[in-house]
Amino acid sequence: MLQLPLEGVTVVAIEQAVAAPFCTRQLADMGARVIKVERPGPGDFARDYDHVAEGQSSHFVWLNRSKESIALDLKSAAGREALGRLIETADVFVQNLAPGAAERLGVDAATLRAERPELIHVSISGYGPGGPYSAKRAYDLLVQCEAGLLSVTGTPQEMVKAGFSAADVAAGMYAYSNVLAAIIRRDRQGVGATIEISMLEALVEWMGFPMYFAHYAGAAPARTGAEHPAIAPYGPFRAGDGARVFLGIQNDREWVRFAADVLQRPELGADPLFATNPARVSNKAQLNVEIESVFARLDADEIIARLEAAGIANARLRTMDEVVSHPQLQARDRWREVGSPGGPLIALRPPASLDGPEAPMADIPAVGQHTEAILAELGLAAPESAVQNRTE
């Protein structure tokens, strides 16, 4: 009988905010036991970013299902002893503490892997060790700035940040994929790994297209709002009912088909102003007038029906509420319900559908919810403060 891929793997994480919790939640979805070390009382500070999800933070409920929470005062001797005993049980240790904090606690890679070479040790930081930025504090928006994302995102008049934690998610995904690679290497070669992930480097990797374009063209791609800076037509167009329909033409053959079957103006397909993509980009303003003059006579459903019949890629502009009720996600049974201290919450199944058992999708823990049980496994008594924290 198939098991979840990471069943039997224990992950201990001193984690906070987004990047490391995003990594470890993926590991939990794959069946790993993830033990999250939090400070007694408030716990991970992301718990208080907002309180909109049944009294809990939207960031926290997204990132921390299927984990166990142990509350330890790492400034105390008892807390540090418990952490040391806990790490001895770990296959993987993940931390995204402030620069220098892991060394002060004695949980840096050099210290832990000297004792246990087979350990997979993961450190996520803003800018990586070494270099002039190694001690610089890093938050997602700030790293988006340093990686150049804001310089190419927005309108000609104003730059904007990504609408989600792009640098954190990039770093978390590279941490996750490298942990999987390290587990395979350890199984084959018997050695652990030291993995260092920089938010800056992870996001710069994702910025490959604008980086290469700017470096070799001598100018960055223009900020074009929701339109594509180098392909046309590619972006939003207003329908007669006021809705926006997004579409993308990828080559000149599609343009000819779009002109004939969607716009029902086949002469535009061969018009020198629009016949090639560079021409369409250069004449984008006039191109958009031609398209919207036709779309103004149609509602969004009619436009999408024509686009679908012509085999032209398209999309509706949906709100986040509409995404939750998206017909494709509903048809594919992608939603589950998970428990939390505030009550049941919706949760999207992991995007990768692996054959075998379904991802556990277990509850989101309260701060220190599992402290007593985990310490008992380690042969340690829970400090009074931890017991009080769990029962308050």
Contact 206, 166 (CB under 8 A): yes
**Residue with token string 């402030």:** 98
- Rounded Cα gap, residues 86 and 13, in angstroms: 10
Provide the total of helices (H) and of strands (E) in the chain, helices listed first: 17, 11
**Residue with token string 């770093």:** 171
DSSP single-letter state for residue 159: B
- Rounded Cα gap, residues 27 and 202, in angstroms: 19
Is the bond into 229 cis (omega within 30 degrees of 0)? no
Write phi, then psi, for 37 (nearest 5 degrees).
-90, 120
Tally the C-alpha atoms within 13 A of residue 103's C-alpha that lie toward its C-beta.
6
Token digits of residue 39: 């400070």
> Can 59 be counted among the known catalytic residues?
no
Collapsing DSSP to helix, strand or coil, 315 comes out as: strand
Q: Outline where 260-299 has alpha helix (H).
A: 277-282, 284-295
Token digits of residue 343: 């009550």
Token digits of residue 53: 């999800």
Strands 313-316 and 244-248: antiparallel
The string of DSSP letters for 27-72 reads HHHTT-EEEEEE-TTT-SGGGGS--TBTTB-HHHHHH-TTEEEEE-
**Residue with token string 């709002």:** 225
Kindly name the residue from 51, 121, 215, 228 that is annotated as catalytic.
228
- Rounded Cα gap, residues 37 and 87, in angstroms: 11
Task: Provide, for the chain, the percentages of residues in helix, strand and coil under a 3-state DSSP scheme, each rounded to the nearest 5.
Answer: 40, 15, 45
Annotated catalytic residues are: 228
